[in-house]
Structure 1
């Protein structure tokens, strides 16, 4: 997993167009003055959060994230967005976006299918602080912008859930055209399942066949460079969404037998249970910092029998109960 975020080289120009001086943003964020002039600017998770927090504060525009996430000029799209637009449907576009996100940052685009709705959530895997609202707005606007451009219709989400307090201005409701629930358990955008099946008018199989293999090759190379425990940890994090990962499911996803997997892990000096606990610990820290989930809800998402089992495990990891740990992070 890459540990740094690539910053879009076009960000500086976009900010200037919106009347936001990039130099002021970088100064406010405590970042190097020439960062956005680099050929391939990259930042840590903490620096990324500082950058987007500064964008919101310097611009003093509560809609700045929505504006930056709703780019109309396709020549400004990054390869991930272009590959998404060339897919046959919105559902496949989301899968491509989630897959290729791994190339550019330590972030997961988590897609969870329900009986009537599908949720999309952005998880910053190395974050130790709450993500800036401007960044959440941008990410959600980016997904909806691709959906609307691809389908050719003003597609609206089913609803949006945010952890932040209610905004007195109905900017998000007006932009997305759907209800927005504040002070929720997590930051997530929900789509009607039937909308995911909408075909993309921008589908172009020939152009997709030119772009996707390059992205897949880079992704496969990244995965080949990862150690087996690192690959397993990422897979288990994806599976930890209300289900209990098993060594059988893991072996199937890795296209190897259970015996071969266990033999490989033993050679690495590790085990399935050890890596599962590491993945649970990382996801537990994420949920406690970035959501208002109750402990029993967090325990469920991490695959524990009950809240008591989760609390006992967390005490072993951090030395204190999860509720106490969460309070310390918010001081």
Structure 2
């Protein structure tokens, strides 16, 4: 998945508008820039959480916020990943499609377990990652059942629903799910009747799936190939001149905890210190290629307060002084 940003689809804004809520008021409360309602908005995980909490605060009760948005969301505004599940062959294929495409829409992952006569859908996050607002978790769970109801054209009900935090008016949710809803659980789970999974979708569209699936599969491959280390390096380059060189700043920009970032970098065989060194090296080369910047300015722009420290670092990178390296580069351009 893309670790730097979560994309908010335009359909969210059209959905809240149908509920009489001004999308710009949500954006203002969440402190995110929203210029046009028709453009996807890329935000950090923290901003994404604020958007959802602001929506719930404006609507009032958390439970009603979950149900109203998921139930009134027009299928015409579904993003491609959701549209593909809506036009699946049956409820089972739709749910497994949701689990697969959920990797493209963080922050949670969806785990599906079929045992006996039931099927459990569990929303998970990493152990070191912050939990999202209950309205976000709940809206996702509501939509998973709503997807089955719309696709099959049947008034399906759940077996059980569990939330790890308070969700507002539980009776409202129990009326929607058609089963008992518990809170303060250790997990966020929706349990369905397995018999419902083989129900065919009246919205099944093979021709549309043949067009959407290859594009979505390619997007998943591209997202999975996007390394955290590359995102860290890009973030560091942006913050070097402002002195943002610590892992806490970068982790916050990427929407994760410092521990999670360290673990992922270890998995990729690198460290934050190595990436900082690489970012400084790459930026130093770019700045030195600009003759209008003197060496002292370049040292400051790549995060060195002491010019001598920059000289020592550059010698390790290039085996020469910044001045000699710059002269050699300009010499090559004129020959």
Give TM-score scaled by structure 1 length: 0.63
Q: Decide whether the 8 Å contact of 2:160 with 2:191 is kept in 1.
A: yes
Deviation at 1:169, TM superposition (A): 5.2
Alpha-carbon distance in 2 for matches of 1:16, 1:165: 26
* Residue correspondence of structure 1 range 80-91 to structure 2 within 5 A: 80-91=81-92
> Structure 1 residues 108 and 267, CA, compared in 2 at 3 Å: closer, same or farther?
closer
Is the alpha carbon distance of 1:7 and 1:210 closer, same or farther for their aligned partners in structure 2, counting shifts above 3 Å? same
TM-align CA RMSD: 2.9
Query: SS of the residue aligned with 2:158?
Result: coil
Q: Which residue of 2 aligns with 1:161?
A: 162
> 1:50 and 2:50 equivalent?
yes
* Structure 2 residue runs without a partner (length 5+): 229-265, 271-335
Query: CA separation of 1:197/1:219 partners in 2, compared to 1, >3 Å: closer, same or farther?
Result: same
Cα distance, 1:211 vs. partner? 1.0
Q: How does 1:12-27 map to 2 (within 5 A)?
A: 12-27=13-28
Report the CA distance between 1:79 and its aligned residue.
1.0
- Write the deviation string for residues 61-108 of structure 1: whole angstroms up to 9, x where unpaired: 431221111235321112122111222111111111111122233431
Partner of 1:324: none
**What secondary structure is seen at the aligned counterpart in 1 of 2:119?**
strand
Match of 2:208 in 1: 207
Deviation of 1:125 after TM superposition, in Å, equals 4.4
The separation in 2 between residues aligned to 1:266 and 1:75, in whole angstroms, is 40
Which residue matches 1:221? 222
1:278-289 pair list within 5 angstroms: none
Residue number in structure 1 paired with 2:322: none
Judge conservation of contact 2:11–2:79 (CA < 8 Å) in 1: no
- Is the alpha carbon distance of 1:143 and 1:113 closer, same or farther for their aligned partners in structure 2, counting shifts above 3 Å? same
Cα deviation for residue 167 of structure 1 reads: 4.2
Judged with a 3 Å threshold, the aligned counterparts in structure 2 of structure 1 residues 224 and 20 are, in CA distance, closer, same or farther, namely closer
On the 8 A contact 2:163/2:187 being kept in 1, the answer is yes
Equivalent pairs, count: 233
Q: CA deviation at 1:59?
A: 2.0
1:119 aligns with 2:120: yes
Structure 2: distance between partners of 1:127 and 1:21: 34
Q: Structure 2-normalised TM-score? A: 0.62
Whether the aligned pair in 2 keeps the contact of 1:156 and 1:176 (CA below 8 Å) is yes
- How much has 1:137 moved relative to structure 2? 2.1
Q: Is the 8 A contact 1:5 1:105 kept in 2?
A: yes
CA contact (8 A) 1:172 1:180 kept: yes
| Distance change (3 Å), C-alpha of 1:266 and 1:59 | closer
| CA displacement at 1:189 relative to structure 2 | 0.6
How far off its partner does 1:40 sit? Answer: 2.2
CA distance in 2: counterparts of 1:30 and 1:208, whole angstroms: 37
Alpha-carbon distance in structure 2 between the residues aligned to 1:77 and 1:210: 16
Q: For structure 1, list consecutive stretches of 5 or more residues without a partner in the other structure.
A: 228-264, 270-331
Q: Are the counterparts in 2 of residues 45 and 126 from structure 1 also a CA contact under 8 Å?
A: no
For 1:213-255, what per-residue CA distance to the aligned partner results, in whole angstroms no more than 9, with x for missing partners? 111122223334559xxxxxxxxxxxxxxxxxxxxxxxxxxxx
Corresponding residue for residue 40 of structure 1: 40
1:138 maps to which residue? Answer: 139
Aligned position for 2:175: 174
Distance in 1 between the 2:81 and 2:168 partners? 31
Matches within 5 A, 1:1-331: 1-32=2-33, 34=34, 37=37, 39-62=39-62, 63-71=64-72, 73-125=74-126, 128-165=129-166, 167-168=168-169, 170-226=171-227
CA separation of 1:108 and 1:26: change in aligned 2, threshold 3 A: same
